[in-house]
Structures are given as C-alpha cells and as structure tokens.
Amino acid sequence: GVVLAIDIGGTKLAVGVVDANGHVLSSDRAPSSLGPEDDGEAVWERLHKLCETVLAGVGRPPLVGVGVGCGGPMLWPAGEVSPLNLQAWRGFPLRKRLRTAYPGLPVRVHNDAVALAVAEHWRGAGQDVDDMLGMVVSTGVGGGLVLGGRLVDGASGNAGHVGHIVVDPDGPPCPCGGRGCVEAIARGPGLAAWARELGWRADRSEAEATAKELADDARAGDKIALSAFERAGWALGVGIASAVALCDVRRVVVGGGVSQAGPLLFEPLERTLREYAKMAYTKAAQVGPATLNQDAGLVGAAALILAGDRYWSAD
C-alpha cells in the first residue's frame, strides 16, 4: 500500500505519494500562504486540491493512510495545528479535516522536525542505530528523539525539542520567549543578525544577508562570517553534549538549511562536543549530516503510517 504524505512549512506545502519502501513515487508543492487575505480555509483548499492532483497523477492507488509533518506548535495527537510561521492557521483542525476528506484511513499528524528525525532513522543516516537524536537547523532549531528504536513523544508530543536547551543563560532572546536557547543562537536568521551587528553586509538588504550568504562569505575567508559559524557550532555542540548525556543516544543527525554550510558548522560543533562530552557513553556519540534530500519531510510523514507503531503510538 502507499501513503499520502504531507509536509507543511511556513514557505511551502508539499504533498507526495510514498510507497512501503519509503520511495516518493510522485510529489508536488504549492505556497503555504498567498498573502494576508489568505485565510485558513483558503490554505486548506489549496492543500486538499494539491493532494487530489498528486493522487490523480499516479492513478489514485489504494491508500493505507495519511501522514503529516507540520510546523509546531500543535495539539498532539489531536492534530490541531498553529504553525508559528503560517498565520492563517491558528488551532486549525487539520487531522479532523483530513479524516473527513479521506474517510476510513488512519491520519497521523506530528511535528515537522519530528518527521525529519523519523525519516533519517527509518531510511537515512540513523538506520543502523536504535538510539538517535535527529535535528533540524533552519529558520528554527527542532528535533526528534528515537530511543530503543521507537520515537519518544513526551506528554504533548514535543520530546526531543533540542532547540530549546539553554546553552547561555545570559544569551539572546529566543522566539520561544526564553533566552539563550540553542535556537536563539544557531537558527539561520539569528546567525545572520549577529554578524550584521558586527558590520557584515551592513549596507545590503536583509534578503541579501541570510545565513546562506554568510556561508558563502565564510568560505571566502570573511572573519565575521567565520566567527558566526564558529559561534553557531559552539552552541550546537554544547546543546548536543547535554542532550547526549541526558538521552544516551549513539548518533546525532543534523539536517536543515543551515547544516548545508557543511564543515563551517560541523567542525566547531564536533570540536565543542568533544570538549564537553567526556564520559565513555557520551564520547561514543557520533554526529553527522542528514542524508535524505528535500523529500525527507514526506518520507518521515509516511513513516508515521508505514513503520507500524515504531513512530506512532497514540491511538
């Protein structure tokens, strides 16, 4: 059987049909938002239409379920979503709507960072370990935790949210309302803002001074840009050292846009982790990049349905 897989972010809606091996047979995408007058129902209609188009494109195969990764926060497992960067949806009853649209099928909705972690454990860089932390370093920093080969949910579906481990009690404010979290320091826009304050690309527009340009400039030897990645790698390394001590995972897989900076980020991260992880079991933890491509969100959403109860144990 195949799964209808859905990935909902602040920028795009992605829909795919995924087979039992985790292969995306067909997929398509649409913008999450078309502007301020785009209300919740309009977003839903766009999503539903996209699902129908993708399903029709592969001849409407029989489905075994619908799996969704969606930006948080959400009421879990009820699947009432309020993605921080999709203003049109506040408490939107996504799971309920999908159940009505695709009656008789299991519908499972989880956090998008959890979906990415699950994808890497199911078919990516964590396939060979039972205990893994999957992280996404992008506009925010999120994650998911697999222990004993199973996803750990926590009381409200937010276990593994490594982005809000505090690494600097006096650090900058975090989008979560706290301060000094990993996310406050290592999120792409945070990195860029820090560098701008020191004068990096001060004369350019914000669009020309994102973490992506920062990585380009660091590669070209720009000192401020290099220190920005050094600082982000440090924050991630400290956070990961704490997470590894708490959770006893053997592998930490890091994906998301900012991770594409490669060694610029992973080198200081690894160095910092080794400085703080000194016990035999924390020393044993390996860190590496995610290996699934852009489809990871869809693969993880599908795994919520296809992997038995390994990644879904609510109802």
What is the binding site for ligand ADP (CB under 6 A)? Answer: 9-11, 138-139, 188-189, 210-212, 215, 256-258, 260-261
Total interface residues for Zn ion by CB under 5 A? 5
Pick from 64, 75, 152, 176: which binds Zn ion (CB under 5 A)?
176
Select from ligand ADP, Zn ion, none the partner in contact with residue 111, using the beta carbon and a kind-dependent cut-off of 5 to 8 Å.
none
Do the bridges between strand 150-152 and strand 132-137 make them parallel or antiparallel, or are there none, so unpaired? unpaired
**CA 259/CA 108 separation, integer angstroms:** 28
**CA 110/CA 113 separation, integer angstroms:** 9
Residue in 306, 314, 301 with CA at minimum distance from that of residue 98: 301
The residue sitting closest to ligand ADP, measured at its beta carbon, is 188
Chain centroid offset of residue 57 CA: 28
Residue 198: CB minimum distance to ligand ADP, A: 17
CB-facing half-sphere around the CA of 12: CA atoms within 13 A? 12
Helix (H, G, I), strand (E, B) or coil at 34: coil
**CA 128/CA 122 separation, integer angstroms:** 9
- Our finding on whether 181 is near Zn ion (CB under 5 A) is yes
Residue 189: CB minimum distance to ligand ADP, A: 5
**CA 122/CA 23 separation, integer angstroms:** 12
Between residues 212 and 274, which has the closer beta carbon with respect to ligand ADP? Answer: 212
- Our finding on whether 161 is near Zn ion (CB under 5 A) is no
Residue 11: CB minimum distance to ligand ADP, A: 5
Between residues 40 and 189, which has the closer beta carbon with respect to ligand ADP? Answer: 189
Select from ligand ADP, Zn ion, none the partner in contact with residue 181, using the beta carbon and a kind-dependent cut-off of 5 to 8 Å.
Zn ion
Q: What is the three-state SS of 179-198?
A: ECEHHHHHCHHHHHHHHHHC
Residue 285: CB minimum distance to ligand ADP, A: 23
Of 107-115, 138-146, 167-175, 195-203, the window that binds Zn ion (rule: CB under 5 A) is 167-175
Residue in 267, 280, 274, 179 with CA at minimum distance from that of residue 231: 267
Of 24-32, 104-112, 157-165, 228-236, the window that binds Zn ion (rule: CB under 5 A) is 157-165
Between residues 96 and 212, which has the closer beta carbon with respect to ligand ADP? Answer: 212
Secondary structure element (H or E) that encloses residue 75, with its range: strand 74-75
Select from ligand ADP, Zn ion, none the partner in contact with residue 174, using the beta carbon and a kind-dependent cut-off of 5 to 8 Å.
Zn ion
Could you tell me if 180 and 172 are in contact, meaning their C-beta atoms sit under 8 angstroms apart? yes
Select from ligand ADP, Zn ion, none the partner in contact with residue 227, using the beta carbon and a kind-dependent cut-off of 5 to 8 Å.
none
- Name residue 31's amino acid: P
- Our finding on whether 164 is near Zn ion (CB under 5 A) is yes
Between residues 55 and 235, which has the closer beta carbon with respect to Zn ion? Answer: 235
Between residues 65 and 180, which has the closer beta carbon with respect to Zn ion? Answer: 180
**CA 306/CA 210 separation, integer angstroms:** 37
Q: Give me 212's structure tokens.
A: 């992506």
Q: Give me 171's structure tokens.
A: 């650090």
Pick from 119, 174, 247, 264: which binds Zn ion (CB under 5 A)?
174
Applying CB under 5 A, the residues found at the interface with Zn ion are: 164, 174, 176, 178, 181
